[in-house]
Amino acid sequence: MTQPPTNPLKSVQSAIPKSQTMKINALPEEARAYCEQVSQIFERRRQHKLLWRYEVGEILAAASSNLDKQADKKPSLRSIADNLVRYFAEVVAVPNRTLSDCLRLVRTFGPERYQRLVESEGITWPHVLYLLNVNGEKLRTEMETKLIAERWGAERLKAEIRARLENQRRGTGRKLKAPESLNHALNQLTSSADKFTRQMTETWFGDRFDIATEIESLTPSKTSVRTPDQIRASVTALKSLIAAAQMGIRKLKPLAKGGLAKPQDRQASVAKTRQRTVKPETMPRSSI
């Protein structure tokens, strides 16, 4: 039987937040030791909430990797290998999202990096969740650095991330310019298709976040009345996208197989098209 990984993280049990140390020192000397003990208990409790999730995530990551390899030789394991979070969540009676977040945590933060985060003053699980949901390592690292240095609360972090994403959307939400040439148009088409494919496989249905998993983990109390309508709207939009992509494929695929017309054929086709589009009043009168 494969042994689960040993959790390399440790709880700094003697640590007391600096902001509390000054307040404790302001208390009468007779009361300080008792308050220090209370502060340490709450600090250990805070760290424990962060540490156990990483430990679970490491076990899930190891299980996912090992079962995936074994499923190649033993096909009956493929179902559980591909749906590990759902199977385990059902057994231990927790929401899918709880285990999914644990797995995302390990795949996003290395042990040393996460240890620094755990040891930072005031970091809570909501802080970590907001960082996990950031799309892009550069922005995540920047927010993480400022969070630790400036001791942001969870709501401040959420607001800062939202503001940065809004600025990014305003900067990248412009329409594509009209193609200046055939080469330009083909490059636009390829680049846009590649970008959307990455968003589908990495952003919306990836390892760090999966829309389907999020929906499955919703409890009735957390499900908005608009959620079913939003899901249907997304499905409709994706179907429209498929139809548009299929139209493009139908038009381009024959040309990619050597179906390009000869120069003289193209000229004749262009002339015929122009003739069809000439307005009636500009047509030369018959000599009859």
**Nearest Cα residue to 132 out of 147, 120, 119, 149:** 147
- In this structure, the answer to whether residues 133 and 250 fall within a common structural domain is no
Residue 124 has pLDDT above 60, yes or no: yes
Same domain? 216 vs 147? yes
41 inside domain: yes
- 119 within domain boundaries: yes
Flag whether 122 is in a domain: yes
The secondary structure of 33-95 as a DSSP string is HHHHHHHHHHHHHHHHHHHHHHHHHHHHHHHHHHHHHHHHH-GGGHHHHHTHHHHHHHHHT--
Residues 23, 150: one domain?
yes
pLDDT value, residue 5: 53
Residue 9 sits in the same domain as residue 56: yes
Residue 246 lies in a domain: yes
Does 130 share its domain with 242? no
Looking at residue 283, its pLDDT comes to 42
Shared domain for 238 and 155, answered yes or no, is no
Q: Please tell me the pTM assigned to this model.
A: 0.53
pLDDT tens string 226-279:
677 778 778 888 888 898 888 888 888 888 876 555 555 555 555 555 555 444
| Residues 145 and 16 reside in one and the same domain | yes
Regarding whether 228 and 206 lie in a shared domain, the answer is: no
The reply to whether 101 and 13 lie within a common domain is yes
Q: 242 and 208, same structural domain?
A: no
Any domain includes 182: no
Question: What are the tens digits of pLDDT across the range 42-82?
Answer: 777 778 888 999 999 999 999 999 999 998 899 998 888 88
State the pLDDT at residue 144. Answer: 94
pLDDT score, position 266:
53
Q: How many domains does the chain have?
A: 2
219 and 242 assigned to the same domain: no
pLDDT for residue 174: 60
pLDDT tens per residue, range 182-221: 888 888 888 888 888 888 888 888 877 888 888 877 766 5
For residue 195, is it within any domain? no
